[in-house]
Each structure stands twice: as C-alpha cells, then as structure tokens.
Structure 1
Amino acid sequence: MVNVYNQGHGYYTKHLGENLCVNHHCGDYLYLYNNAANAYSLEEFDNHFVEFKNKCPAATIVLEHDIGFEKWSRAHYPGNRYDVMTTNIVESLNAMLIDEKEYPVASIFNLITKRFGELFRERHTYILKSMDNQMVSAAEKIARKKMIEGASLYVENIIGDGNQFIVFGAGVTAYVDLLEKSCSCR
C-alpha cells in the first residue's frame, strides 16, 4: 500500500485506488472509494465510506488508520489545495465574486476585468520585489503595456437584453453575442 504518489499535500486518489484494486481486490467497489474521496462534505464522505467499508473492510482499515483520511479525502483535508479554496476553477471564481453575482451581466464583466487587473498587478509587484534580477527589459515593456491595455477594457450592454455586448478599449471594439457564441472586432 506504500506505492502511492505524494502530491505535496495528499495522495493522488487515482493511484491510491489502483493500489486498493491490486492489494485488496476491491475493484468492483472502487466507485465507492472515489465517491468518498471526492465528497465535499463530511456527511457525504461518511455515507460513501461506510458503504465502501461494508464491501471492502480490509482496504478501509488501511485508508483510515495507515494513511489517514486527511491524506486522500477532500472532505477531511485540513487546508487549501494549491493555495486556493478548491481545485474547481468555477468555485474559486464564485467565491471571489460572491457579491457581484447578483449584478447585471455587463457590470459583472467590468468587475471581473477590474478584479483580475488588480490580481495581476499585485502578483507583478510581488514578483518584482522577490526577484534578485529584473526581467529582461523587452519582456518588462510588453508586460507593462499588456497590463495597461487590460485595465482600459470596458463592457457595455448594447440593447439591454443581457445577450449582446460591446467590449472596447486599447484601440479595439468587439461586438459579442452570447447566444450566437460569436464575436466580431473592428
């Protein structure tokens, strides 16, 4: 059971599952292990783990006592994975924009642009402070120009229906239709 791959904060559930199949012959019930490993709440985890425990008791002893839930279970993990609240990018964005979700779509686009601009500027400042040597001057000029261009983008709703927008800035105007999944630039 020691042939698992450590990812820094926990074990890859896929490789751990493969080891469970080989060493404990519980391949028919591996879906129960995966359900427990990927559960977000403790209650959901407990339901799946108890069911897995009924089918493969020897494997669950290893998972519970030898490895520990916090090493492979999302619900029991004590910290943030990869420095964010979740590995799901949509959930990360929802958490970041929780107050803005109730705004009209055009306002949300503008707020997202502003928020990402702030994050990029913060990270850029952090990198510059932590670097022993400066970026190559040409790359620095390009990065600075792109940051300024990104900060100047603005979104407007064309006819107020929430589907058609104009995005303009940095010398470009783009018409976006969310229903048509199209974009045209001028």
Structure 2
Amino acid sequence: MRKVIIIDGTHVKGKFVGCLLTASAHDGNYQIFPIAFGVVDSENNQAWSWFFNKLLAVVPDAEDLVFILDRHTAIYSGILRVYPMAKHCACLLHLQRNVQTIFKKRHLLYLLRKAARAYKMEDFYRHFNEIKVVDIIACADYLIRVGLEHLARSLFEGARYNIMTSNLAESLNAALSEAREYPIVPLLEYVRSMMMGWFATRREAAARNVGALTPKVAEILSKNFTDSTGYAVKVIINEEYKVVDGNGMYYRVDLERKTCS
C-alpha cells in the first residue's frame, strides 16, 4: 500500500462516552484498510500520544511515511513526539470547512480545491493568487499560517499521491455509526466482526481477479491511456522523452528517475 495513513477521532455516543481513534489506509483497490482502533476518554495530548505509541509497533517511523489529519493540536503534538521522521499534511475537506466557516464565501472553496490539488507549483501559485484577488488577502494569510506545504500537493515534501482528504476515515466512522452507541467491548467486537467480513469478501474478489492490477487501478490506467493518445512523444535519450500535450505544452519526462518537468 502507499505509505499514507489517515488519522481521525470520533465520539462514542453511548452511556460510556469517549472517543474512538482510528488509523486507516487505502488498499490496492482504493478500499478502506483499517490499521488500528483505540478508545480513549477524549482527544487530548495524552490520549493521542498513547495511540501513536501503540501504532508504532505495527507502523514504524520513516521518512517516506505520511499522515493525513485534521488540524487538531493534540494530533499534531502526538505525531511530532512519536513520529518525528514522518511527514504530515492537512485534510483538504476539513480545511475547506474551516475556510467556509471563517470567510463565508463558497467560491473560495473551488479555488482552494484547485490550488491544493495542482501537481505543478506554477498551477498552485496561479490559483493561490486568484484567492488573494477574490478575498483581499485575508484567506491567503490564513492558508499561509496553516502552512502551504501542508495543504498543497505540489509543495508537500513527502508523497501523498492522490490522497487529499480524510474521507476514508469519514466512511469508516459512518460504517461504525450504530456501534458507536454500544459499550466498549461490544463496540470492539462489532469492529472485529465487520473487518472479518470485509477481508473475507476481498480475498474472494482477489482470487477471481485476473492480471497484475486491481480492478480500480486497471480502470484508472485505461482512462489515462485514452487521455494520453492525444499526446506527441519523442525520444530525447535513453529513458528521457519530450511529451507535448493537447494544449501544445512541452514536458520532459524521465522514466528512470520518474520525474516530469
């Protein structure tokens, strides 16, 4: 799997109130792969530090590890303490909600989404400058305080791939909405039973799958192949190519280094 882990916390609603902390990732077919669950009294520094220390046993700290999270200060504190080598970035969905709440301008959400998802720095700064013009710099200043490198794919130091939000964690919370009203032991038993069903179904699907790619990746590859047939490609040398897209833009692609100008 891509080494991108989504961190989230949600309320336990029953008689024994508290928070359910989760760590999850995308599997090779873009499905939820739960990694860890923890039940704590609340989302505080001590609780998150405990959770990350437990997580460390199965997910070791590494420079190519990435965490996606909302801007909860206790989560940041726990990651910096337990995972000092890993990178962390903001969930675009939570950031959009904050921008909507503070600035009350829906068109900013579109510009923020375009800027954050841009693959090239020049595209990011073009959309970011549009935000400055639209909102007289106030929103831009807020995003700078958040840290542009934490929200923009093109400026992020690690590899977050196409995973820009913690939607996966939201889906996991939705799947557990009924169980979050149970006492702790029945809640965890519900989680165990649910995961057992998921993995049994996926093993059967994987056994039927033909080829090296998962169905979702094969679908994405097919779409990209269709899009790329309009590109002109010429060899420069060895594994380097000049690629011209449908708009006449030139790019230098190095397949060995996996880079594109």
Scaled by the length of structure 1, what TM-score is found?
0.40
Determine which structure has the larger strand proportion and give its number.
2
Higher-Rg structure is 1
- Which is helix-richer, 1 or 2? 1
Between the two structures, name the one with larger relative contact order (CA 8 Å, sep ≥ 6).
2
TM-score norm. by structure 2 comes to 0.29
